[in-house]
Chains A and B, each alone.
Chain A
């Protein structure tokens, strides 16, 4: 079965750029999707189709996907961006999530 691997945690200082990676076999041949989940809340779609932002998602969120790695980048990170982030792809009629990355804004 297909697997997506994320680092368990990433730390960033306020105002700096955070990068969260998601690795999977030939992930670049698929589309990657990213979700933010703040503590006690439901997940929120922040990036779809590798690079697109849903309405209402700040421009500081961006995405890329090539080779075996998709990356979520948060520029000018704010305290409110502290959350768990999950990548997701669709493979063989199955939605696959990465294990999640806890972003800490120090």
Chain B
């Protein structure tokens, strides 16, 4: 069974740091792009970052650039999100997702085909 299990969420003060982890199982982790997506309380889905199979390419949404870092350890089948300089608006459930790819003649399209249950991050003093 394909499974993604996030951990590492919690309460942190503004300006603080947190590292999220995602343990993958049931598929060949090293063969897939991976992603983090978040959802603030009562709000919609918001993509955060993607990382290529070997970690050589990373994409981020503008509002986390310079503060968040996505990484992976294929030997441990694990995905990470290092979050620094946290703000109240970063409060959300953070989902780990496996990424599917579809090619057009111009570029690749990425989407999330398997999701974890999420881990909650609360930024508050």
B94 shortest CB reach to chain A, Å: 11
A95 to B109, CA, bound (A): 9
A94 to B109, CA, bound (A): 9
> A86 contacts which of B45, B107, B117 (Cβ < 8 Å)?
B45
Are B100 and A48 within 8 A (Cβ)?
A: yes
Query: Which B residues lie within 8 Å of A1 (CB)?
Result: 62
B125 shortest CB reach to chain A, Å: 28
A101 to B96, CA, bound (A): 22
A44 to B35, CA, bound (A): 15
> A35 contacts which of B50, B100, B112, B118 (Cβ < 8 Å)?
B112
Residues of B43-60 contacting chain A, CB below 8 A: 44-47, 50, 59
A33 to B30, CA, bound (A): 23
Q: How large is the interface on A (under 10, 10 to 19, 20 to 34, 35 or more residues)?
A: 20 to 34
Does B28 have its Cβ within 8 Å of any Cβ on chain A?
no
Are B47 and A96 within 8 A (Cβ)?
A: yes
Residues of A75-106 contacting chain B, CB below 8 A: 84, 86, 88-90, 93-100
Does B31 have its Cβ within 8 Å of any Cβ on chain A?
no
A90 to B110, CA, bound (A): 6
A48 to B35, CA, bound (A): 16
> B47 contacts which of A84, A97, A99 (Cβ < 8 Å)?
A97
Does B32 have its Cβ within 8 Å of any Cβ on chain A?
no
CB closest residue in chain A, given B48: A95
Does A38 have its Cβ within 8 Å of any Cβ on chain B?
no
Does A43 have its Cβ within 8 Å of any Cβ on chain B?
yes
Given contacts A45-B115, A49-B109, A95-B112, 11 further A-B contacts (CB under 8 A): A31-B104, A31-B111, A35-B45, A37-B45, A43-B45, A43-B112, A45-B112, A48-B113, A84-B44, A88-B112, A95-B35
A37 shortest CB reach to chain B, Å: 8
